[in-house]
Amino acid sequence: MSKKIKKVALVGGTHGNEMTGVYLIKKFQKNPQLIARNSFDIFTLLGNPRAIEIRQRYVETDLNRCFSQQSLADLNSILYEQKLAQEIANKIKENQTDLIIDLHSTTSQMGLTIIISDGHPFHLQLAAYLSSINPSLKILKYSSSQEDLLLRGLTELGFAIEVGAVAQGVLDGALFQKTEQLVYRLLDGLEKYNQDEHFSRNNSLTLYQVIERIDYPRDGEEIIAMIHPNLQFKDYQPLNPGEPLFLTFEGETLTYQGEMTVYPVFINEAAYYEKRVAMCFAEKREIIVES
């Protein structure tokens, strides 16, 4: 890819109770010089103002699930977030945005994670560059279907920053600072790219790719088990066949019955109970990134 990046959108508060992104955007709006760079313009956006005001994930429906082409084209949309998604999509288009950075937080122990939707060479090069600066950074490839496109999918070069564990509706000072520094390093990387510098310092990258979403054991709609204590807060750590996965309310251990080692992520994410997701299984890959 040789096209320069000219317009960048930095979004926080797509979910109104994820306060790290909300207050980072507010900080950048008060101090725009912190994120200003010479080679591209950047604009900030608070994704869901009404949800932010009431400190809830959403008002009527999950904003980050309202960006499918069908939803954006539906002139009869009546839900607040559906209309809001259409407004955001128009703003992204009007600004001729090249790249979206969507700031999120999670109740899962995911540390600093960059989520990409595909294997675009630009994403992999940028990820390798950032990983060389901060080896603790995790790179997660989490593809979405055409029916379930997310805000970051409004541009070809869109991705999310996910940080945790932090409870919904609260701030964690250490994670706030780490996220802020990651944003600065990321913007520096975009500047290097625009100046034709090879921002990928190394050509190897550890990539976690989501391969399956796992629901809680249920009796009808009711869950009958919880995350096993041995697995809680063990995001990105290997889960081997036969190891504890769930614990029923009667105390019975349910083990992982798969045939391969997987790396669970989004373990026990609070917002995913309603989505019937207890965790996501990922495979761990070591790849070579070409400059």
Q: 183, 202, 221 — which closes off a domain?
A: 202
What pLDDT does 3 receive? 83
DSSP 288: E
289 is a domain residue = no
Mean pLDDT calculated for residue range 216-244: 98
pLDDT band at 175 (very low <50, low <70, confident <90, very high): very high
The answer to whether 105 and 162 are in contact (CB under 8 A) is yes
- The number of angstroms, rounded, from the C-alpha of 168 to the middle of its chain's C-alpha atoms is 15
Q: How far apart are CA 93 and CA 1, in angstroms?
A: 21
Residue 183 has pLDDT above 60, yes or no: yes
Read off the CATH number of the domain in which 183 is found: 3.40.630.10
Please choose, from the candidates 191, 138, 174, the residue with its C-alpha nearest in 3D space to the C-alpha of residue 4. 191
132 is a domain residue = yes
Residue 1 has pLDDT above 70, yes or no: no
Average model confidence (pLDDT) for the chain? 94
What pLDDT does 119 receive? 82
Residue 28 has pLDDT above 90, yes or no: yes
52 and 151 share one domain: yes
Strands 111-116 and 157-164: antiparallel
Residue 78 has pLDDT above 70, yes or no: yes
Alpha-carbon distances, residue 36 vs 24, 28, 41 (angstroms): 14, 9, 7
* Chain position carrying tokens 């994704």: 47
194 and 221 share one domain: no
Residue 196 has pLDDT above 90, yes or no: no
What pLDDT does 166 receive? 98
Mean pLDDT calculated for residue range 213-219: 98
179 and 238 share one domain: no
Token code pair at residue 255? 């083990």
Alpha-carbon distances, residue 33 vs 4, 37, 73 (angstroms): 21, 8, 36
Residues paired with residue 224 on neighbouring β-strands, in sequence order: none
Query: How many Å is the Cα radius of gyration of the chain?
Result: 19
Token code pair at residue 67? 């960006």
Share of the chain above pLDDT 90, in %: 89
The whole-model pTM stands at 0.95
Residues paired with residue 247 on neighbouring β-strands, in sequence order: 226, 253
Q: How far apart are CA 283 and CA 238, in angstroms?
A: 9
Share of the chain above pLDDT 70, in %: 96
51 and 155 share one domain: yes
Mean pLDDT calculated for residue range 218-230: 97
Token code pair at residue 156? 């070809």
266 and 131 share one domain: no
Residue 271 has pLDDT above 60, yes or no: yes
Q: Residue 204, SS3?
A: strand
The answer to whether 253 and 188 are in contact (CB under 8 A) is no
What pLDDT does 130 receive? 94
Q: What is the pLDDT of residues 156-171, one digit of tens each?
A: 999 999 999 999 999 9
> Helix 121-133 crosses helix 173-194 at what angle (to 10 degrees)?
130
Residue 99 has pLDDT above 70, yes or no: yes
- The number of angstroms, rounded, from the C-alpha of 177 to the middle of its chain's C-alpha atoms is 17
Q: State which residues form the domain around 228.
A: 212-281
What pLDDT does 202 receive? 63
The answer to whether 112 and 136 are in contact (CB under 8 A) is yes
Most confident of 70-74, 141-145, 258-262: 258-262
